[in-house]
Amino acid sequence: MTSLSHSVPSAAAPSGSVSSPAKRIQIDFAERSYDILIGESLLSDPASYEGLKGHSALMVSNTTVSPLYAARLKTALGTRHAQLFEVVLPDGEAFKTWETLNLIFDALLANGCDRKTVIYALGGGVVGDMAGFAAASYMRGVPFVQLPTTLLAQVDSSVGGKTAINHPLGKNMIGAFYQPQRVLCDLSLLKSLPARELSAGLAEVIKYGPIFDTAFLAWLNHHIDDLRVFEPAALSHAVQRSCEIKAEVVGQDEREAGLRAILNFGHTFGHAIEAGLGFGEWLHGEAVGCGMVMAATLSQRLGFVSAQWVADLRALIQRAGLPVIAPILDPHDNAGRYLALMRHDKKSEAGDIKFVLIQKPGTAVVQSAPEALVREVIDACCQA
């Protein structure tokens, strides 16, 4: 479903720095295919945008990202679009709402944007999810390009076409499967990431090992310290391999009818942590990191993997700078609170919670589990 080739969109970025050759991963869907480009200084390189048309374009970013990168994008786009507009959203998961989404629609309509207007999503997962859903819905669909600025967005949310906003009663409950025209993973943007955000991104990188690729998991065990100090070659490989695996999985199952659900390893418990603590208290990646420890523990209690394997995964997650002890969500009925929150997960059917479990290292399954066992796992993982 995916192919990997090496190409050089241009010899050097306009900034004068010498770029490494960009890597290109192709995602094939029934209707069309598109490229993920991974490399240094892609944002600033006009060649990154070759083939993108549209009389007008809209850059969507937020108050944190816009001052850092919007000018670079504007310069790189040059005269590609006759009209280039920008909308700057408030920053944060708390603003992943209809009201904020509507700022994008307001900008599109006030500027007379048409069906061929290209939307550039410049930011992390929240910007990508909202700009993507706006692109999916504006006039029933306009082209969009993902320019992820965080590790988490580069390895996870910008690839695969999931877009959404939150509803007061649930996260990512309103959205669309909608594929971008292109994803540009500019590795040079990661250098300015705060350490905590880097760690949160590493949770989604680590995820790909247990569910799909034991060799990658072994590589991560060797290079986790390099990744935490932004070692360029290590980061490049981590982003590339993560995107390859994600492309492979979503290429087989765009609409999450089956296989794709394995990408939610750690997310069922993780969502309960996020919702239970209040969204934003823990970063998404932190909750997923801890959620993977819990899901791995459940896998072990079901007899799928060894206690040693779980301990090794837990150690890796901890070395990535992520929490491995689950928080108490309710001192009176902690497990009950976790269960109630997990029943609201999108994977649930008729209240039956579906967990992504590791059947054996490198292979995941989605299934339910006896409630008593889940309660035991929650109790065990909430203790140091």
Active site residues: 140, 162, 204, 246, 256, 260, 264, 267, 271, 284
Name which of 191 and 255 has its Cβ closer to a second copy: 255
CA distances from 264 to 157, 181, 212, 225, 236 (A): 12, 24, 12, 25, 23
In the shown chain, the binding pattern of residues 31 to 70 toward a second copy, with x for contact by CB under 8 A and - for none, equals x-----------------------xx--------------
Residues 318-337 that bind a second copy (CB under 8 A): none
> Does residue 258 interact with a second copy by CB under 8 A?
no
Name which of 328 and 369 has its Cβ closer to a second copy: 369
- Which of the stretches 35-43, 103-111, 235-243, 309-317 binds a second copy when contact is defined by CB under 8 A? 103-111
CB of 325 to a second copy, least distance (A): 30
Q: Three-state SS for 76? A: helix
> Does residue 181 interact with a second copy by CB under 8 A?
no
Name which of 41 and 100 has its Cβ closer to a second copy: 100
DSSP labels for 285-315?
Answer: HHHHHHHHHHHHHHHHHTTSS-HHHHHHHHH
> Does residue 80 interact with a second copy by CB under 8 A?
no
CB of 264 to a second copy, least distance (A): 13
Q: Side chain identity at 358, as an amino acid letter?
A: I
Structure tokens at 172: 């990512």
Name which of 223 and 344 has its Cβ closer to a second copy: 344
Q: Is the dihedral of CA 267, 270, 276, 281 positive or negative?
A: negative
Of the candidate residues 3, 67, 94, 167, the single one contacting a second copy (CB under 8 A) = 167
Rounded to whole angstroms, how far apart are CA atoms 50 and 42? 12
Of the candidate residues 17, 98, 367, 371, the single one contacting a second copy (CB under 8 A) = 98
Rounded to whole angstroms, how far apart are CA atoms 155 and 84? 28
Rounded to whole angstroms, how far apart are CA atoms 252 and 27? 10
Residues 106-165 that bind a second copy (CB under 8 A): 106, 109-110, 112, 114-116, 136-141, 162-164
CB of 132 to a second copy, least distance (A): 11
Residues 334-353 that bind a second copy (CB under 8 A): 343-344, 346-351
Structure tokens at 306: 């060894």
- Which of the stretches 170-178, 184-192, 195-203, 220-228 binds a second copy when contact is defined by CB under 8 A? 170-178
Rounded to whole angstroms, how far apart are CA atoms 166 and 174? 6
> Does residue 367 interact with a second copy by CB under 8 A?
no
CB of 208 to a second copy, least distance (A): 22
> Does residue 173 interact with a second copy by CB under 8 A?
yes
Name which of 304, 292, 298 is nearest 372 in CA terms.
Answer: 298
Sequence-ordered list of residues with C-beta below 8 angstroms from that of 99, at least 6 positions apart, any chain: none
Residues contacting a second copy: total by CB under 8 A: 42
Residue 87 is inside which H or E element, if any?
A: strand 83-89
CB of 108 to a second copy, least distance (A): 8
* Angle formed at CA 367 by CA 365 and CA 368, multiple of 5 degrees: 150
Give me the phi and psi of 331, to 5 degrees please.
Answer: -65, -20
CA distances from 173 to 93, 142, 251, 254, 347 (A): 14, 21, 23, 17, 11
Of the candidate residues 102, 214, 306, 367, the single one contacting a second copy (CB under 8 A) = 102
> Does residue 24 interact with a second copy by CB under 8 A?
no
Q: How many CB atoms neighbour CB 17 within 10 A?
A: 11
Residues within the interface to a second copy (CB under 8 A): 30-31, 55-56, 82, 98, 102, 105-106, 109-110, 112, 114-116, 136-141, 162-164, 167, 169-170, 173-177, 255-256, 343-344, 346-351
